[in-house]
Amino acid sequence: MTRTLFSLAAAALLALCAAPLTAQDTPAPAPDATMTAAEDQGPLRIEITGGQVEPMPIAVAPFFDEGGAGELAGQIQQVVTADLTGTDLFREIPADAHVAKPTAFDDAIAYPDWRAINAEALILGAVAVQGDDVTVKFRLYDVFSGQPLGDGMQFDAPREGWRRVAHKVADQVYARVTGETAYFDSRVAFISETGPKDARLKRIGIMDYDGANPIWVTDDADLVVSPRFSPDGNSLLYTSFASGMPQIMLMDVASVQSRPLKMEAGTMSFAPAFSPDGRWIVYSREKGGNTDLWQMDVATGAERPLVETQAIETSPSYSPDGRQIVFESDQSGSQQIYVMAADGSGEPQRISFGEGSYGTPAWSPKGDLIAFTNQQGDSFHIGVMRPDGTEEKMLTESFLDEGPSWAPNGRVVMFTRATPGGEGTSRLHSVDVTGRNMRPLDIEGAASDPDWGPLLP
């Protein structure tokens, strides 16, 4: 059943295609009397920086049913809207406040009517279903400057891939307004947890970034932790206790087939991470009680030590250019974060010097920040800092926050938040890079160890 579900999702992935609507499809702007006043506003743009930002008011006109769409038109519109408002960068103006009521996708836009309700951006969409295929079109308008923002686009996909199409539409809107790259059409690998705290059952799930469509790629017979996607999202590294000790496994996601990475017998291995080109795996390997960093050539299985000390080295993460590795070590007496050359040359440089201990560094896909877990006494924080250790900023605080993983665009991190006591549980939360918009992920049951995969093609 799991495999069937997954191959359907995979099929949707392969068949989705996008095309800009031709220029002649873009309707001419309606005559616009208030143009001059609007020019002072500058281009439509949200800057994702620090500080309190007022969400941008947007109007999403009801998506038109251009044949056979039925309820799907509304469902797609809902997902597009939820993606955008879920960032807290956009605020939806509810449909009952709309003055203009467009009747067709190609209608001229009544900008004054949208301006009257203070909409800064307007989205028009249309959905058609033919057989097993769905076609979704959208256009984005900058209401105050009175013109389209970018080309309209059309997406064709298998019908069961409709949520991905909705994410693609929202991604286009997000990217055009923020100037950042998109991230909604992505998946998250995670650990689903059931059972009591002292006999937790764990299995690996893969879901849409918003928690929808979870599928299970391992059963809960063996304890598993920390799944990690390959850069292309087609493989998954994880750590299994099936052999009685932690051991890194490599899974082909499409076939759900796993194999252990070949290691010297009797050694534990865990905390794996792929290099950005997918050629290398860096991970922790234990021998005689001591844990060091090792590197493996994925193609040949050849291993070599990267950092060997009498201290614990673990939780490595590559820089997006593949030249450096950030990891944690307790060689100073407590967990701290170090950066080193990915080829093992030179001495690792410590970059964390704030209060408390630092672990689970994750290098942003943008390269500009490293996210980490910080422990100060009895409280845990997710924080970010520059790769040179400057501009440290804590984003969260709780009894136990840990293990940040970056959205593909490097503007949001997802992490595990655990609560104390016998009834304590774990949930996934996300927060944006400025510390705004902390929110739990809406999924059923307990979950931990999120790994945010790449933006899907």
Partner 1 sequence: MNGFRIAAGAAMLSVLGACAQPPAPVVVADPYAGNVGGPARYTGAVKPGNLPGTVTAADFARTAGDTVLFPENDASLDGAARATLVKQADWLKRNGSFSTVVEGHSDEKGTREYNLALGARRAGAVQEYLVSQGVESGRIRTSSYGKERPIEVCSTPECQARNRRAVTIVSPGTGV
Residues present in the chain in total? 457
- Our finding on whether 264 is near partner 1 (CB under 8 A) is no
Q: Which is nearer to partner 1, 152 or 227 (CB)?
A: 227
- Our finding on whether 226 is near partner 1 (CB under 8 A) is yes
Q: Which of residues 292-351 bind partner 1 (CB under 8 A)?
A: 312, 314-315, 328, 330, 334-335
How far is Cα 48 from Cα 232, in angstroms, rounded to an integer?
27
Tell me how far the alpha carbon of residue 49 is from its chain's centroid: 19
Per-position x/- string for 137-176, each x denoting binding to partner 1 as judged by CB under 8 A, each - no binding: ----------------------------------------
| Contact in structure between 236 and 189 (CB atoms under 8 Å) | yes
Count of residues engaged in binding partner 1, rule: CB under 8 A: 46
Among 270, 274, 318, 406, binds partner 1 (CB under 8 A): 270
| Nearest to 140, CA basis, from 248, 15, 280, 44 | 44
Q: Least separation, in Å, of the C-beta of 380 and partner 1?
A: 8
How far is Cα 277 from Cα 274, in angstroms, rounded to an integer?
8
How far is Cα 212 from Cα 232, in angstroms, rounded to an integer?
21
- Our finding on whether 268 is near partner 1 (CB under 8 A) is yes
- Our finding on whether 94 is near partner 1 (CB under 8 A) is no
Among 42, 131, 289, 346, binds partner 1 (CB under 8 A): 289
Q: Least separation, in Å, of the C-beta of 268 and partner 1?
A: 6
Sheet with 370-376, edge to edge strand ranges: 357-363, 370-376, 379-385, 393-394
How far is Cα 100 from Cα 219, in angstroms, rounded to an integer?
52
- DSSP letter string over 227-280? EEE-TTSSEEEEEE-TTSS-EEEEEETTTTEEEEPP--TT--EEEEEE-TTSSE
Q: Least separation, in Å, of the C-beta of 273 and partner 1?
A: 11
Return the percent helix, strand and coil in the chain, to nearest 5: 15, 40, 45
Q: Which is nearer to partner 1, 62 or 356 (CB)?
A: 356
Which spans of this chain sit near partner 1 (rule: CB under 8 A)? 196-200, 223, 225-226, 239, 241, 244-246, 266, 268, 270-271, 284, 286, 288-291, 312, 314-315, 328, 330, 334-335, 359-360, 373, 375, 378, 399-400, 402-403, 418, 420-422, 424, 448-449
